[in-house]
Structure 1
């Protein structure tokens, strides 16, 4: 899963924007503004380690677009973090939010470190100092810039961020909205943990539901029996695979940085995850073949390939060897622009990252709204709805002389929980966005869903600027 030293995700995103703009009439000056990163913050700070030594850490926060505020984007902890990567990820967030109609600009951040080499106490010091640096430069806040978890971070780091932010801003009533992906105890939202993976599932399901598109690539509609290979069994990869398996797909391969596992008969995703959590490897798992060079799994025959790890995994070097019928980009930027043209020429359907992994930012939007309103979704109306349905069922029973069973009553009366509403909103967002994107692809007579997605997103961003009167 190595990256080419000269690769620039940001330049790739700009090329995709230019491609989309070729199908539109966009003021050249406006196009340059849309592509440019508005604010870039790079800073260094010291970390005192457990052994008493010091290490200088490098942090980044990029705000790509201020056409809508706040900006939104994750914070990643990785040795690969550098400015061009963060710029590219921030730019992707701008177009991702516009595509799914979430009113945020794009942002991204990170610290250059390998989190596995630091203690929890050291990571807490890094996170709190990183947050303090953002606060000093006003690069964080519920109305300014709202981070979230990303590669190498989790709800734990988000809880440290919100605690630090509240300590600096004790008078701010909406302080909890400064970051999303928080634990439920810190006013997170039920359903955020699996949101991105569940969104990936919804996106793949919708793509596989279009009979004419499936016929074009030689597949039957639906998920049942589809053979799937997943790269990366972190949060996104695990939940994507879990929901696909529950829907009848067969997970035949999983790749990780330290090796992969392959079994044509299918793998039990939850058992595999449990084994990985305990042993830190797939080697020795009870079934399947261990593949030491996990990148080879990307080229194995399958129906659906899900890169859910890092960017730039399918390049011009291996694109010709890809045998999947569908590539579902659960990670950010896993297919380079050079590789995409090769894959499209081979008739492969690519579900672009800016659409497919938008579940995280969609549910983050719901969490942000919850924090601003300071009330859980469904809390106000749940009991009212339950009583209304109870009376309705009583009316039906009296009219028919029949009686519902207790299980039927429970299923019908139970009001929507916060999780129910979150999943419903996520599903609606992913379904609508897919068909809008696919319809645009067909209307423009283009092969690439990514180009169609960028056209839709670009149209919405252009409207935001022109309605401000900044550009004609």
Structure 2
């Protein structure tokens, strides 16, 4: 009896690239170069535990593409981390950056651990040793490879990484740019924490505002009163749900690894998040119905399904049962290639991960620019703009004989903060990128937004290679 082949995210991504290439005239050798990983670094190091015992920790950093430098991609801490997963995630970063016109190559990293089983001191030792291994092989640096947070990591780990890098490289003036997603105190950027979830919101909002696309799904344009189910209430899922709710959508289901909540009346996301933080789950939450097998929530009726947890969540096993009309991939690779074919055949709109969760890398790009320039966004011009607006208001008052109230005056002369500029740049990126990929979909007469996204990304990557004179 033949052994069933294990799922490979990397093979899935390559399959999407091959599908997109059918609609392009691209040199076969160049296509193969684009698909393959440039550099794969797998390493092991020891961790001495508090009781004197040792264990061997396995780490990865994979640079999929160096057609633009630095390479960019997060670091995840998870027992699911293996070479195939990291290769697939690194490849997705390449196409994601190209799609939203962020000038990075693609990379990804990971450590094969369950971070919940280690205390803070152990995690710090693991993170600093992981960083030291990357430094030894020149797999990190503001001009080489710039990591960021991912599943199982956050601003704390990024602070340890930048501190370790600076200790090894005291002469590098732009050392803070070796990693993004840092705390504000370590030259992070205001708005980075919610950037991916905010980007998911902007992307879904843009998609549902296209009248002809909504008509094809039997929906009215806009987010108002649309029902939403979110899988995962971590950083991305929480902010996605929060902003969708605030825009008028109704979140009726939230799934987590240890159970979910279903409530057709609508879920208060802030209250649920607070309960989850206090009780480590949703069990016992006083409103709605607790669903023990939370993955079943993916198949419940709703307008918009937002898988914001891990990859490989919608497969051939459950694709035919999905009732949502729009699937917004907030996580990386939550819908397999085979499952997507089933969804498209049923007339669903799948908003691909490589576009929808690009908010994180977009704002990471802004943070990297801030670190290279060594000045906060808006710091130089804010007071000048405020004074300019103040004079303009005085001119209007003198011409009309009417006076603004203090509240109106304060609102109108307020200069843009770093956060304002970051969110404005993120919104512009997500809006223009969706318009471009949706236009490409219609231009090529495609059903799949993902295929259109890969075509657009490949076109931009091909130009990078051909302008270098490497391929005809």
Give the TM-score range, shorter chain: over 0.9
Q: Alignment partner of 2:80: what SS?
A: coil
Measured in 1, the distance between the counterparts of 2:435 and 2:77 equals 34
Spell out, residue by residue over 1:222-258, the C-alpha distance to the aligned partner (whole angstroms, 9 max, x if none). 0000000000000000000000000010000000000
Please name the residue that 2:108 is paired with.
108
- Aligned residue in 1 for 2:409: 409
Structure 2 partner of 1:18: 18
Partners of 2:287 and 2:180 lie apart in 1 by: 38
C-alpha distance after superposition, 1:274-313 (max 9, x if no partner): 0000000101111000000000000000000000000000
SS at match of 1:47: strand
Q: Secondary structure at the match of 1:166?
A: helix
Structure 2 residue aligned with 1:124:
124
What residue number does 1:38 align with? 38
Residues 5/116 of structure 1: CA separation in 2 closer, same or farther (3 Å cut): farther
For each residue in 1:89-144, what CA deviation from the matched residue of structure 2 results, as whole angstroms up to 9, or x when unmatched? 00000000000000000000000000000000000000000000000000000000
Where does residue 331 of structure 2 map in the other structure?
Answer: 331
| Counterpart Cα distance in 2 of 1:53 and 1:378 | 51
Counterpart position of 2:276: 276
Give secondary structure in 1 for the equivalent of 2:350.
strand
Partner of 1:212: 212
Quote how far apart the aligned CAs of 1:49 are: 1.3
Q: Residue 5 and residue 268 in structure 1: after superposition, are their counterparts in 2 closer, same or farther (change >3 A)?
A: farther
Distance in 1 (alpha carbons) for counterparts of 2:123 and 2:226:
40
Q: Distance in 2 between matches of 1:195 and 1:115?
A: 23
Map of 1:168 onto structure 2: 168
Match in the other structure for 2:263: 263
d(CA) in 2 for partners of 1:225, 1:414: 33
Distance in 2, matches of 1:392 and 1:14, equals 55
Distance 2:289 2:54 in 1: 43
CA distances 1:21-45 after superposition (whole Å, capped 9, x unpaired): 0000000000000000000000000
How far did residue 358 of structure 1 move? Answer: 0.1
Q: Which residue of 2 aligns with 1:75?
A: 75
| TM-superposed deviation, 1:455 | 0.3
Distance between the aligned counterparts of 1:98 and 1:49, measured in 2?
42
Instruction: Deviation per CA, 1:381-419: give whole Å up to 9, x if none.
Output: 000000000011111111111000001111010100000
Q: Which residue of 1 aligns with 2:304?
A: 304
User: 1:55 is paired with a residue of what secondary structure?
Assistant: strand
- Classify the secondary structure of the residue corresponding to 1:34: helix
Alignment of structure 1 residues 343-354 onto 2, 5 Å? 343-354=343-354
Q: What secondary structure, in the 3-state scheme, does the structure 2 residue paired with 1:109 have?
A: strand
- Find the aligned partners of 1:234 and 1:439 in 2 and give their Cα distance: 32
CA distance, structure 1, for counterparts of residue 197 and residue 179 of structure 2: 20
Segments of structure 1 that go 5 or more residues without pairing to the other structure are: none
TM-score, normalized by length of structure 1?
A: 0.99
1: CA distance, partners of 2:267 / 2:49:
41
- Structure 1 residue 51 displacement after superposition: 2.1
**Aligned: 1:61 with 2:61:** yes
- Structure 1 distance, partners of 2:395, 2:320, is 64
Counterpart CA distance in 2 for 1:51 and 1:427 is 50
Give the match's secondary structure for 2:365.
helix
* CA deviation string 1:339-369 (max 9, x = no partner): 0000000000000000000000000000000
1:424-470 Cα shifts (integer Å, max 9, x gaps): 00000000000100010011011000000000000000000000000
2:250 is equivalent to residue 250 of structure 1 = yes
Moved over 2 A (4+): none
Give the Å deviation of 1:53: 1.2
Three-state SS of the structure 2 residue aligned to 1:363 is helix
* Residue segments in structure 2 that go unaligned for 5+ positions in a row: none
**CA-to-aligned-CA distance 1:145-171 (integer Å, 9 cap, x gap):** 000000000000000000000000001
User: How big is the shift at 1:50?
Assistant: 2.1
- Measure the CA separation in 2 of the matches of 1:55 and 1:243: 42
What are the residue-to-residue correspondences of 1:348-427 with 2, within 5 Å? 348-427=348-427
- Find the counterpart in structure 2 of residue 435 from structure 1: 435
The offset of 1:5, in angstroms, is 7.3
Question: Matched residues in 2 for 1:369 and 1:159: separation?
Answer: 18
- What secondary structure is seen at the aligned counterpart in 1 of 2:223? coil
> Any idea what SS the aligned residue of 1:248 has?
coil
> SS in structure 2 opposite 1:454?
helix
